[in-house]
């Protein structure tokens, strides 16, 4: 009996060691012992190769980046699912579309925002076109600019500290990313935004990079970030990569996954989870689980055809009930165009809804105020998202990629 118990113990230990530092092949549910008393949670939403996170600390809620404009439905659904009544802060890490895309839709919503935050150092932004400034101006509000050394007090026992950027980078806006360290009684997080190795090295040389329980890996797990020196300094227990290999084929990079594994980090990637990754910090340990909301699935009931000559997308509803299109988003890869469908739009039961433009010469349910939406001679892909941010369908214009 003794030898049998020892054998079982050794087998369990081998299994545990083999799983450490690996990327989850499928959504895992790492159940914590009892986290009911924890007051620190991070929802990292699955928004493709983009960043969008909700941080819940004690009674405060902060939004860090907003993903693409086309994935705003996922953020909107998260706010609803988590019953967020107010955002204590909206933090934009830098001005790139995969981080700022949902800002204007958020600003035009009825969600109260206490403070709008952005990095004071930036370069690749046109005069008067800073997205967060424009978003805050929708409400006649202003931006609070952050720089290295600043702190955002969450409570008497929790705070954000701005680690970088330390200087403005005029070659790559990713290296002007706001890098945030979050300290709470439950544990710590380091949110690296799109920081690449140039900004990493500057922070490391200044000795301002602390260890953290959780690392939101920089630049979607690209090979140009997360150096051995950086990972060795942070010593994360849990590393989170927000990306989509379909959108950016070389993310997450094998070299980054290997480095994280060698330093003992459990690595999870948003694309492997349904709607995102929900992290709980508890007594200095990090636990994660799959975010999987119960929302309607329209993908079986809708089909689409794209008439390139008429610049017309026809949606067909094969179900016996009307399908409302309020909050739905249509994305065309041609020109990176995102269209939010009208609130009163719907596909009738067993009927069609036709989306045309100024170039459409046949009947259409709606004519968008653009000259043309679909490319006639190059590959173009249409993606339809529902109000919860789920991809309902993907079709293309039939041209070779």
Partners of residue 91 on adjacent β-strands: 64, 117
pLDDT tops 60 at residue 23: no
Task: Name the least confident of 24-28, 124-128, 211-215, 241-245.
Answer: 24-28
Phi/psi region, residue 139 (left: phi>0; alpha: psi -120 to 50; beta: rest), is: alpha
Q: What is the arithmetic mean of pLDDT over 38-50?
A: 96
Coil/strand/helix, residue 340: strand
Return the higher-pLDDT residue of 278 and 17.
Answer: 278
Return the higher-pLDDT residue of 25 and 351.
Answer: 351
Q: Which residues contact 369 (CB under 8 A, 6 or more apart)?
A: 358
Can you give the pLDDT at residue 230?
Answer: 98
Coil/strand/helix, residue 93: coil
The C-alpha atoms of residue 115 and residue 106 are separated, in whole angstroms, by: 13
Can you give the pLDDT at residue 399?
Answer: 87
256, 225 in Cβ contact below 8 A? yes
Structural domains of the chain ordered from first start: 24-291 (3.60.15.10), 302-396 (2.60.40.1260)
Can you give the pLDDT at residue 20?
Answer: 40
Q: What is the arithmetic mean of pLDDT over 378-396?
A: 94
Q: How many CB atoms neighbour CB 130 within 10 A? A: 18
Q: How many CB atoms neighbour CB 209 within 10 A? A: 20
pLDDT tops 90 at residue 34: no
Q: What is the arithmetic mean of pLDDT over 153-159?
A: 97
Q: What is the arithmetic mean of pLDDT over 126-150?
A: 96
Q: What is the arithmetic mean of pLDDT over 208-234?
A: 97
The C-alpha atoms of residue 262 and residue 390 are separated, in whole angstroms, by: 35
Can you give the pLDDT at residue 30?
Answer: 53
The C-alpha atoms of residue 267 and residue 286 are separated, in whole angstroms, by: 12
pLDDT tops 90 at residue 260: yes
């Amino acid at each position: 009996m003794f030898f049998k118990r020892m054998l079982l113990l050794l087998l369990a230990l081998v299994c545990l060691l083999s799983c450490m530092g690996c990327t989850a092949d499928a959504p895992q549910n790492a159940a914590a012992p009892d986290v009911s008393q924890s007051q620190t949670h991070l929802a990292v939403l699955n928004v493709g190769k983009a960043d969008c996170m909700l941080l819940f600390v004690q009674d405060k809620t902060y939004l860090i980046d907003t993903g693409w404009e086309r994935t705003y439905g996922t953020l909107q659904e998260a706010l609803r699912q988590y019953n967020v009544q107010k955002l204590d802060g909206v933090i934009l890490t830098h001005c790139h579309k995969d981080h700022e895309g949902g800002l204007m839709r958020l600003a035009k919503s009825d969600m109260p925002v206490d403070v709008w935050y952005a990095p004071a150092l930036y370069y690749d932004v046109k005069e008067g076109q800073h997205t967060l400034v424009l978003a805050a101006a929708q409400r006649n509000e202003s931006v609070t600019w952050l720089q290295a050394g600043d702190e955002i007090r969450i409570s008497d026992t929790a705070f954000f500290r701005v680690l970088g950027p330390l200087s403005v980078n005029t070659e790559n806006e990713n290296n002007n990313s706001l890098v945030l360290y979050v300290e709470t009684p439950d544990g710590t997080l380091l949110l690296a935004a799109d920081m690449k190795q140039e900004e990493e090295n500057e922070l490391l040389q200044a000795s301002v990079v602390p260890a953290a329980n959780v690392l939101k890996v920089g630049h979607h797990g690209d090979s140009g970030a997360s150096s051995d020196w950086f990972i060795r300094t942070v010593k994360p227990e849990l590393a989170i990569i927000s990306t989509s290999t379909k959108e950016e084929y070389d993310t997450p990079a094998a070299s980054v996954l290997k480095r994280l594994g060698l330093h003992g980090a459990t690595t999870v990637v948003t694309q492997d989870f349904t709607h995102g990754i929900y992290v709980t910090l508890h007594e200095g340990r990090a636990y994660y689980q799959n975010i999987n909301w119960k929302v309607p699935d329209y993908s079986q009931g809708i089909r689409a055809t794209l008439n390139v000559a008429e610049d017309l997308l026809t949606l067909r509803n094969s179900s016996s009930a009307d399908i409302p299109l309020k909050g739905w988003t249509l994305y065309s890869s041609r020109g990176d165009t995102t269209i939010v469908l009208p609130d009163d739009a719907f596909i009738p039961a067993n009927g069609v809804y036709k989306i045309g433009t100024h170039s459409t010469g046949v009947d259409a349910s709606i004519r968008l105020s653009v000259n043309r939406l679909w490319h006639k001679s190059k590959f173009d892909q249409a993606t339809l998202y529902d109000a919860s941010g789920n991809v309902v369908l993907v079709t293309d214009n039939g041209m070779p990629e």
